[in-house]
Structure 1
Amino acid sequence: MEKLQNEYLTVEVSDLGAELQSIKDADDKEYLWQGDDKYWGRRSPILFPIVCGLWKGTYRTEGETYQLGRHGFARDMNFKVLRQTDHSVTYVLHETENTLRQYPYRFMLSVTYKLVDNEVHVIWHVHNTDTREMHFQIGAHPAFNLPGISEGEPIKGVLRFDNTDEIDRIYGNHDGCITDDRYPLPTLEGGLLPFNEETFKDDAIVIDHCQLHSIEILDPQDARPVVTVNFNTPCVGIWTPYGKNAPFICLEPWYGVHDHYEYKGQFRDKYLMNHLQPGASFMSEYVIKIGE
């Protein structure tokens, strides 16, 4: 476990999955969900080399067929610390014999966590170390404690989007995959989305087409932002497990999404796939802001 600290925040990260474990403010208040198998045992897994699920857990590339579990393998692997300061830490992961059996590309994945005042900057760097074009997806899955909700209480809250226009969504509940159908996401004036348990009866709210770049979790007392996630990804998921009244909500920036229902095409042609030529790199960042 590595710890980062400044005058505003204290952050802890695990080598397993290079996963955020804790975000506390100067008053020792915890903002990150602490994991509980009763609801969901993870806290902030990194999704790589796919986001969400494949049709029947299978994909085709380089003339072969492979099996790969939901959200890929990075979240369950031990990363190594590459460098660290008081305010930042960088983890790195390379392919192994086991990953090559699931995903036939050689790669370097690094994840950096950096404190800047009351913000946690999360920086992804994917480097193609193979001799052929590489195809991948990557995403975040941070879970945040719901303000004003104690364990066992019915969940409710309000999110605020940076987009105040009409927003549409897709569903990922078609045998764990999506279709081309689009549905309106009813929001209130000012980009507000009140939610409760029933909001997630169709699983995650998936919003693509770069419709959002910022989501705030608002304090139920004064409507001030408790947590803000800023991102430039083409897709974002909003999720809490339906039927459990779990006292957390996930705000998930994604460079990728589920397979389409009954998808039988090539891996490279999946919706929201990313591509790297040999020796090329991909970098992106999302930011978790605590308070205003």
Structure 2
Amino acid sequence: MQTLSNDILSVTIAERGAEMQSIRDAQGHEYLWQADPKYWAKHSPTLFPIVCGLWNDTYHLDGKEYHMLRHGFASKSDFTLVAKNDHRVTFALTESEETLKVYPFHFNLSVTYRLDGNTIHVIWHVENTDRRELLFSIGGHPAFNVPGMKDGDPLDGYLRFDNPNAERLYGNTHGCITPGHHPLEMDGNVWHFTCADFDDDALIFDESQLHEVALLDRERRPVVTIGFRSPAVGIWSPTAKNAPFVCIEPWYGIHDWAEFTGDLSEKYLINRLQPGASFMSEYTIRIG
């Protein structure tokens, strides 16, 4: 475990998956979901080299068939600590014999966490170290405790979107998306959610409709605000469990379209890097 701290926040990150484990304020209040396996045994996994699901957990590349489970392998991989000070830490992952079996690319992936006042910057850097074009998706999956909820309570929370007209996709066809955008019933730009709202799995927003989502308390004051530039974002809590958390997930990538069997290069929102090129982006988590 590695810890970043200042007089406002303390953030703990594991080398396994380069995954945040805790976000606490100076009073000891925990904002990040604590991975109770009764609901979901994760905190904030890194999604790479795919985001969400492939049709039949399968993709095609250069006429060959490969199999990869939902969200890829990064969250299950041991990263290497490469740099650390009181306010910044960087972890790195490269290809291995095992990853090459399911993802035949050479790459460098680094995940950096930078603590600045009440804001955490989560920075992704992907470098193509292969001799051919690198195809990838990357995303975050942080889970936050819903304010005012205790274990056993019905799920009851509020999110504020920066676009009151955002429309969702559905991703519940064998874990893949179907065409068509659907409006949400909101009070202005505030969405009141309950467990039933996740009966169709995550709410998925593409086409860069959103760039900020805030988790509000019962008085509709922001508790956690996620800022991002990614073209897609998912909102998720486990179906039919009344889990006391909600995930706000910035994505550079998305599920397959249902029944998609084309080449990986044709996948919706796939990212491309030429040999020697690199990709960098970040999302932010602001507390309070």
Name the TM tier (shorter chain).
over 0.9
Corresponding residue SS for 2:214: strand
How does 1:90-105 map onto structure 2 within 5 Å? 90-105=90-105
- The question of 1:177 aligning with 2:176 is answered yes
- Specify the alignment match of 1:203 in structure 2: 201
1:5 deviates by: 0.4
Q: CA deviation at 1:179?
A: 1.2
Deviations 1:30-52 (A, max 9, x none): 00000011100000000000000
Q: Superposed, which structure 2 residues align to 1:134-283 within 5 Å?
A: 134-164=134-164, 166-189=165-188, 191-220=189-218, 222-283=219-280
Q: Aligned partners of 2:285 and 2:10: how far apart in 1? A: 13
> Distance between the aligned counterparts of 2:91 and 2:18, measured in 1?
6
Residue identity in the other structure for 2:240: G
Q: Report the CA distance between 1:163 and its aligned residue.
A: 1.1
Paired with 1:276 and 1:268, the residues of 2 have a C-alpha distance of 11
Q: Shift of the alpha carbon at 1:181?
A: 2.0
What's the TM-score, normalizing by structure 2? Answer: 0.99
Q: In structure 2, what is the Cα distance between the partners aligned to 1:242 and 1:65?
A: 31
In the alignment, structure 2 segments of 5+ residues that lack a partner are: none
Cα-Cα RMSD: 0.7
The 8 Å contact of residues 151 and 247 in structure 1, kept in 2 or not, is answered as yes
Match of 1:57?
Answer: 57
Kept in 2, the 8 Å contact 1:95–1:108? The answer is yes
Work out whether residues 230 and 287 of structure 1, in 8 Å CA contact, stay in contact via their aligned partners in 2.
yes
How do residues 55-134 of structure 1 correspond to structure 2 at under 5 angstroms? 55-134=55-134
Q: Any conservation in 2 of the 1:48–1:73 contact (CA below 8 Å)?
A: yes
Q: More strand per residue: 1 or 2? A: 2
AA aligned opposite 2:146: L
Contact 1:167/1:186, CA 8 A, preserved across alignment: no
**1:188 alignment partner, SS class:** coil
User: Could you say which residue in structure 1 is the equivalent of 2:6?
Assistant: 6
Residue 107 of structure 1 deviates from its aligned partner by 0.2
Taking structure 1 as the reference length, the TM-score comes to: 0.98
Higher mean alpha-carbon deviation, 113-122 vs 59-68, is at 59-68
**What are the superposed Cα offsets for residues 68-126 of structure 1, whole Å, 9 maximum, x if unpaired?**
11000000000001100000100000000000000000000000000000001000000
Name the SS for the 1:171 alignment partner: strand
Distance in 2, Cα, partners of 1:35 & 1:98: 27
Partners of 2:178 and 2:246 in 1: CA distance: 24
What SS does the aligned partner of 2:178 have? Answer: coil
Query: How many equivalent pairs are there?
Result: 288
Structure 2: distance between partners of 1:168 and 1:283: 27
SS of structure 2 residue aligned to 1:41: coil
Identity %: 55
Task: Give the superposition deviation at 1:62.
Answer: 2.5
Give the letter for the 2:243 counterpart. A
Kindly provide the CA deviation profile for residues 145-167 of structure 1, in whole angstroms up to 9, marking residues without a partner as x: 01000000001011101113x22
- The runs of at least 4 aligned residues of structure 1 exceeding 2 Å deviation read none
The unaligned stretches of length 5 or more in structure 1 are none
C-alpha distance in 1 between matches for 2:135 and 2:62: 11
